């Protein structure tokens, strides 16, 4: 057995910290609180023991707007005064002030921001070129590598902490493109937007979030990888906004149950639940139930990877897409278009209780049912009116207002169609029933195990 080799812990972080501290800045913001927002200030009886505390923090009640402030961190990426931070640090701010390591404070303006990755790019106008940090290769950051975080925790000013990379590709449901680096370097409120440096002094992450039941550091912090940030920041600098690629499909993960029910070799790839008419995927020949396993030369292990890869693909680029269609392996050519913001979805109406063999209450589609559950026009099938909380359907997040379009790829129009199909599959010894379900007009597959 070959022994594991590891780089020794540094004797000190002092020399590295001294070199990097001038590249890190403190960010303060102020926001005008409108009278309607000030109604959120707690109302306490006159003479209450907490009345003075409320006045101290919120000020006297008035119909006039007042200002509130917040603090965060950032770092310089260009000597001309370009500064990176988190979007949530400067969101809704009326004024933004950047304080350099030498104490100089400068007003900043927003060049661009992206709420999906929580990144923002600011511009200040210094009197002389500033020391700048450099984005490194976050793909080379290994679990166990030493890292240091520099930021402005609790408004105390420039603070250096050290730790290791604890995990990679963390999904904390902060956005659609999560692939955070996790670190145990102490990160607290106010560190948001600050850099996570490797031992070469390059930025491998932008500190963005912590997990903390207490509000303080418990050794679980999350940083946006530099390789994800690099493309986003480049677009913000060039266009003031992010232009993401779009392929025109709704996708979902391939679970073990779906893989078995669809006859797939294993739970890999991204399952296509819906194809936008006349979109890039439709023009390329991609169909519902196809499983995308490769995109532009990259393997696609799961749906989230496809979302990230497609979003970062240049608009107008034609790529090769590897697809599993049943037992066929196809290579299709697709031209990526620009992603637009999706429409807001409406919530369904409360259900009425009645269950089927799958734990579902079912009703045929008619005008009254369509109106009750706000089913989009053009969607046909059998409407779910209730979900048994003890059923597999409940565990798979089915709810009232879902529309069953097909069972095992056989279209259904009435509850009887669904029941007959289920009975036939049970008799044939099938263990997993695959439903094609429309939710707010978007199609997805749901695998229910008997």
C-alpha to C-alpha distance for 100 and 95, rounded to whole angstroms: 17
The answer to whether residues 21 and 101 touch, using CB atoms and an 8 Å cutoff, is yes
| 88 noted as active-site residue | yes
- Predicted confidence band at 391 (pLDDT cuts at 50, 70, 90)? confident
Q: What was the pLDDT predicted at 344?
A: 47
Q: Positive or negative CA dihedral for 203, 208, 209, 210?
A: positive
Q: What is the mean pLDDT of residues 153-181?
A: 84
The residue count of the chain comes to 450
Each residue's pLDDT tens digit, 304-315: 889 889 998 999
pLDDT greater at residue 201 or residue 441: 201
Q: Tell me phi and psi for residue 361, to 5 degrees.
A: -85, 130
Helix/strand/coil percentages in the chain, nearest 5: 20, 35, 45
Q: What is the mean pLDDT of residues 74-81?
A: 96
Is 351 a residue whose pLDDT tops 50? Answer: no
The helix/strand/coil state of 15 is: helix
Instruction: Look at the domain 245-338 and name its fold.
Output: Pdz3 Domain (2.30.42)
C-alpha to C-alpha distance for 280 and 329, rounded to whole angstroms: 20
Which homologous superfamily is 360-449 in?
PDZ domain (2.30.42.10)
C-alpha to C-alpha distance for 382 and 370, rounded to whole angstroms: 10
| 115 noted as active-site residue | no
The helix/strand/coil state of 276 is: coil
C-alpha to C-alpha distance for 319 and 313, rounded to whole angstroms: 9
Tokens of 220: 């679980």
DSSP secondary structure code for residue 363 in this structure: E
Q: What was the pLDDT predicted at 112?
A: 94
Residues 6+ apart with CB under 8 A from 99: 25, 26, 27, 28, 105, 106
215-219 — which CB contacts under 8 Å span 24+ positions?
215/189, 216/188, 217/186, 217/187, 217/188, 219/163, 219/166, 219/184, 219/186
**C-alpha Rg value of the chain to the nearest Å:** 26
Each residue's pLDDT tens digit, 315-333: 999 999 999 998 889 999 9
DSSP secondary structure code for residue 241 in this structure: S
Each residue's pLDDT tens digit, 95-152: 999 999 999 999 999 999 998 899 999 999 999 999 999 999 999 999 999 999 999 8
C-alpha to C-alpha distance for 301 and 321, rounded to whole angstroms: 13
Q: What was the pLDDT predicted at 67?
A: 55
Q: What was the pLDDT predicted at 58?
A: 54
Tokens of 313: 């693909």
Lowest mean pLDDT among 98-102, 165-169, 241-245, 366-370: 366-370
Q: What was the pLDDT predicted at 11?
A: 83
> What element of type H or E holds 376?
none
**Could you say which of 88, 158, 166, 296 is catalytic?**
88
The answer to whether residues 263 and 291 touch, using CB atoms and an 8 Å cutoff, is no
The full set of domain ranges for the chain reads 21-123, 138-239, 245-338, 360-449
**Could you say which of 70, 166, 192, 356 is catalytic?**
192
Q: Determine if the pTM surpasses 0.85.
A: no
The answer to whether residues 190 and 161 touch, using CB atoms and an 8 Å cutoff, is no
CATH of domain 138-239: 2.40.10.10
Each residue's pLDDT tens digit, 31-51: 765 545 545 555 555 555 555
Q: What was the pLDDT predicted at 5?
A: 59
Kind of pairing, strands 318-325 and 24-33? unpaired
C-alpha to C-alpha distance for 204 and 198, rounded to whole angstroms: 6
Q: What was the pLDDT predicted at 337?
A: 93
Q: What percent of the chain has pLDDT over 70?
A: 84
Q: What is the mean pLDDT of residues 253-278?
A: 89
Residue with tokens 């690629």: 245
DSSP secondary structure code for residue 341 in this structure: P
CATH of domain 21-123: 2.40.10.120
- Same topology, domains 21-123 and 138-239? Answer is yes
**Could you say which of 70, 73, 118, 178 is catalytic?**
118
């Amino acid at each position: 057995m070959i022994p594991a080799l590891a780089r020794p812990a540094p004797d000190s972080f002092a020399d590295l910290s001294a070199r990097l501290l001038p590249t890190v800045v403190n960010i303060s913001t102020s926001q005008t609180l409108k009278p309607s927002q000030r109604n959120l200030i707690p109302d306490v009886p006159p003479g209450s023991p907490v009345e003075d505390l409320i006045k101290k923090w919120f000020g006297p009640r008035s119909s006039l707007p007042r200002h509130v402030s917040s603090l965060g961190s950032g770092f310089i990426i260009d000597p001309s005064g370009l500064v990176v931070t988190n979007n949530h640090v400067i969101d809704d701010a009326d004024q933004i002030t950047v304080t350099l390591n030498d104490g100089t404070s400068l007003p900043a303006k927003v060049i661009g921001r992206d709420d999906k990755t929580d990144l923002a790019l600011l511009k200040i106008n210094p009197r002389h070129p500033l020391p700048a940090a450099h984005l490194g290769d976050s793909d080379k950051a290994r679990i166990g590598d030493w890292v240091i975080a520099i930021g402005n925790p609790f408004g105390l000013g420039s603070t250096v902490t050290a730790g290791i990379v604890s995990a990679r590709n963390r999904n904390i449901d902060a956005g659609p493109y999560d692939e955070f680096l996790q670190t145990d370097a102490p990160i607290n409120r106010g560190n948001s937007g600050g850099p996570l440096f490797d031992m070469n002094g390059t930025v491998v992450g932008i500190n963005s979030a912590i997990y903390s039941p207490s509000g303080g550091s418990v050794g679980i912090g999350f940083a946006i990888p530099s390789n994800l940030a690099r493309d986003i920041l480049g677009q913000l600098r060039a266009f003031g906004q992010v232009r993401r690629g779009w392929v025109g499909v709704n996708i979902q993960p391939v679970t073990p149950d779906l893989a078995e029910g669809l006859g797939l070799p294993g739970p890999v790839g991204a399952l296509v639940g819906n194809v936008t008419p006349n979109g890039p995927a439709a023009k390329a020949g991609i169909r519902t139930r196809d499983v995308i396993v490769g995109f532009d030369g990259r393997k696609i292990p799961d749906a989230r990877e496809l979302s990230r890869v497609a979003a970062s693909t240049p608009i107008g680029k034609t790529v090769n897409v590897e697809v599993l269609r049943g037992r066929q392996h196809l290579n299709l050519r697709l031209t990526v278009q620009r992603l637009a913001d999706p429409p807001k979805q409406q919530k369904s109406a409360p259900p009425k209780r009645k269950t089927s063999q799958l734990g579902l209450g079912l009703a045929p589609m008619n005008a009254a049912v369509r109106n009750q559950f706000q089913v989009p026009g053009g969607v046909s099938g059998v409407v779910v009116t209730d979900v048994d909380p003890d059923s597999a359907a409940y565990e798979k997040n089915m709810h009232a207002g879902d529309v069953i379009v097909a069972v095992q790829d056989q279209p259904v129009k009435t509850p009887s169609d669904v029941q007959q199909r289920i009975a036939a599959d049970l008799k044939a010894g099938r263990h997993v029933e695959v439903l094609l379900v429309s939710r707010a007009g978007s199609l997805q597959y749901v695998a229910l195990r008997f």
